[in-house]
Amino acid sequence: MDRSAATSRSNTAGAAGPPLSRSTAAFERAKRTIPGGSMRQATWFAPHPPYAVRGEGCWVEDLDGRRILDCANNFFSLVHGHAFPPVVEAIREVVGRGTAFGLPTEHEILLTEEIRARSPRCEQIRFCNSGTEAVMFAVKAARALTGRAAIAKFEGAYHGAYDWLEVSLSPTPANWDGPRGEPAAVAYRRAMPPAVLADTVVLPYAEPALCAAILEREGPRLAGIVLDTLASKSGMVPPPEGTLEAVRDACRRHGVMLICDEVIGFRLSQAGAHPLFGLEPDLLALGKIIGGGLPVGAVAGPAERMAAAFDHTQGPPAVAHGGTFSANPLTMAAGLAALRAYDRAAVERLGRLGDTLRARLNDAFRGAAIPAQATGLGSLFRLHLTTAPIRDYRSSCPTDAAKRALSAIHAGLLERGVLLTPNCSGALSTPMGAAEIGLLADAVAGTTAEEFRERPWH
Ligand SMILES: Cc1ncc(COP(=O)(O)O)c(C=O)c1O
């Protein structure tokens, strides 16, 4: 599974020793000007990822000429894979006429109309440039509308890099328990301001009674509850109905705003994830697929709330929102082309492929007595190296041995020409069909079985 040994292109830097692959040479060069040689923590894995040269459909070619089945899809943001012709055409049409103006364009209206037509809860929309910003603006709106500072989030859930949402992002058994067995608010990195910790309430995902009790106590000081109904970092499993009931109840009784983070989940149905769980969010954070592969984020919600938070035409707005590149025409045109092609039939077909994949993997693991399972929903999936039920962040935290095995499986899959995210999750794209799902299922099941035979993690 040593990837550098598997490639044989010569070292263009001319160093002594065995020839470097082109990706290795690129990484060596990158280390001089990029901390860690890598721009994104989430995409990095040891010794370094291959460098992409081009993508077409569900395939990517790397600097060393390898073709890789891309099941990471830029962290689930590419629902049509790479260089999807309608998106390329939409960008081509726009790019020659200017890429950003200090003026609005009609492109932004068209994309808001498309999102609203798919998802009636998204009556009004403001675009920004990332999912991080989308969640941040939704939280700021909830604060402005309620006059409260604190927010609640679920332990282990990832919502981007806004400080309050980084609380308890990756706690460990050594620090995750707080008073009376409640989840502690754990700083993500050194020197997180104490006020941030004090104003973030951490909720247990799979303990509805405890969740309800915490919300009953903390509800009066909460502006919003941020919820991703299929949080990938906390196992990629839906919340139990009891937890949803506790959330709905707290929102109703204490006037707390429900903020659904659908930066990933929007791909789960035409209208997003919330209708699948009977939720009526006060605000939504969107991103990823709505930009057609270009940088994007959006905060959305019922018109009255969105206007109260963001309408700046009647005096100073409750929330300051701008962004030099927000709603740039390239992103708007690419997003419109991508969403129009992701119609009900496409969503359902991708969901069926996801069901097939998870069933094939779970059958294979059971049949070969491999302690592993696949979770997920629709086009999203994640591999876990245990047969114990995955219910939340804590039960999805791999042991050290399982962590090492997941890295080895990820590397082994890459050897076989399949790319997952480094924690072995993935998202399907519309260019995939039965052949690609078969290839993916065989590769994941085979690599996992091989790793278990060589270095059992149980
Ligand atoms: C659920 C969720 N929310 C927010 C974000 C942040 O989005 P971005 O990376 O565009 O800032 C992500 C990114 O992966 C995400 O998965």
Residue 16, pLDDT score:
61
Distance 78 CA to ligand 1 centre (A): 13
Ligand 1 site, residue 75, Cβ cutoff 6 A: yes
Q: What is the pTM of this model?
A: 0.95
Q: Is the pLDDT of residue 304 over 60?
A: yes
Rounded Cα distance between 260 and 204, Å, is 16
Ligand 1 site, residue 158, Cβ cutoff 6 A: yes
Residue 181, pLDDT score:
84
Residues 352-378 pLDDT 10s: 999 999 999 999 999 999 999 999 999
Q: Which atom of ligand 1 is nearest to the CA of 295?
A: 10
Alpha helices, DSSP H only, in 256-301? none
Distance of CA 76 to the CA centre of its chain: 6
Residue 458, pLDDT score:
84
Distance 1 CA to ligand 1 centre (A): 30
Residues 243-253 pLDDT 10s: 999 999 999 99
The rounded percent of the chain whose pLDDT value lies above 70 is 96
Ligand 1 site, residue 234, Cβ cutoff 6 A: no
DSSP assignment of 325-383 equals TTT-HHHHHHHHHHHHHS-HHHHHHHHHHHHHHHHHHHHHHHHTT-S-EEEEETTEEEE
Rounded Cα distance between 443 and 418, Å, is 8
Distance 159 CA to ligand 1 centre (A): 5
Inter-residue contact 363 to 370 (CB < 8 Å): no
Q: Going by CA atoms, what residue is nearest to atom 16 of ligand 1? A: 264
Residues 217-259 pLDDT 10s: 999 999 999 999 999 998 999 999 999 999 999 999 999 999 9
Residue 9, C-beta contacts closer than 8 angstroms, at least 6 positions apart: 19, 20, 21, 22, 64
The rounded percent of the chain whose pLDDT value lies above 90 is 94
Ligand 1 site, residue 411, Cβ cutoff 6 A: no
What mean pLDDT comes out for the span 67-81? 98
Residue tagged 């959305």 (tokens): 300
Residues 99-118 pLDDT 10s: 999 999 999 999 999 999 99
Using DSSP's 3-state secondary structure scheme, residue 137 falls into helix
Q: Going by CA atoms, what residue is nearest to atom 4 of ligand 1? A: 159
Residues in the chain: 458
Q: Is the pLDDT of residue 4 over 50?
A: no
Compute the mean pLDDT over every residue in the chain, rounded to the nearest whole number. Answer: 95
Ligand 1 site, residue 162, Cβ cutoff 6 A: no
Residues 432-456 pLDDT 10s: 999 999 999 999 999 999 999 999 9
Residue 67, C-beta contacts closer than 8 angstroms, at least 6 positions apart: 59, 60, 61, 417
Residues 261-296 pLDDT 10s: 999 999 999 999 999 999 999 999 999 999 999 999
Residue 355, pLDDT score:
98
Q: Which atom of ligand 1 is nearest to the CA of 76?
A: 14
What mean pLDDT comes out for the span 295-306? 98
* Order of strands, sheet of 222-227, starting from the edge strand that comes earlier in the sequence: 124-128, 297-301, 283-287, 257-261, 222-227, 150-154, 200-203
Distance 357 CA to ligand 1 centre (A): 24
* Order of strands, sheet of 59-62, starting from the edge strand that comes earlier in the sequence: 52-56, 59-62, 67-70, 418-419
Confidence of residue 96 (pLDDT cuts 50, 70, 90): very high
Distance 158 CA to ligand 1 centre (A): 7
Confidence of residue 17 (pLDDT cuts 50, 70, 90): low
Distance 166 CA to ligand 1 centre (A): 12
Confidence of residue 19 (pLDDT cuts 50, 70, 90): confident
Ligand 1 site, residue 132, Cβ cutoff 6 A: yes
Ligand 1 site, residue 299, Cβ cutoff 6 A: no
Mutate which of 75, 127, 159, 170 for ligand 1 pocket (most atoms within 8 A of beta carbon): 159
With residue 52 as reference, give the H or E element that holds it.
Answer: strand 52-56
What mean pLDDT comes out for the span 60-79? 98
Inter-residue contact 260 to 285 (CB < 8 Å): yes
Mutate which of 263, 294, 421 for ligand 1 pocket (most atoms within 8 A of beta carbon): 263
Distance 260 CA to ligand 1 centre (A): 12
Rounded Cα distance between 349 and 211, Å, is 35
Residue from 104, 134, 157 nearest 288 by CA: 134
Distance 386 CA to ligand 1 centre (A): 26
Q: Going by CA atoms, what residue is nearest to atom 8 of ligand 1? A: 131
Q: Is the pLDDT of residue 10 over 80?
A: no
Ligand 1 site, residue 429, Cβ cutoff 6 A: no
Ligand 1 site, residue 274, Cβ cutoff 6 A: no
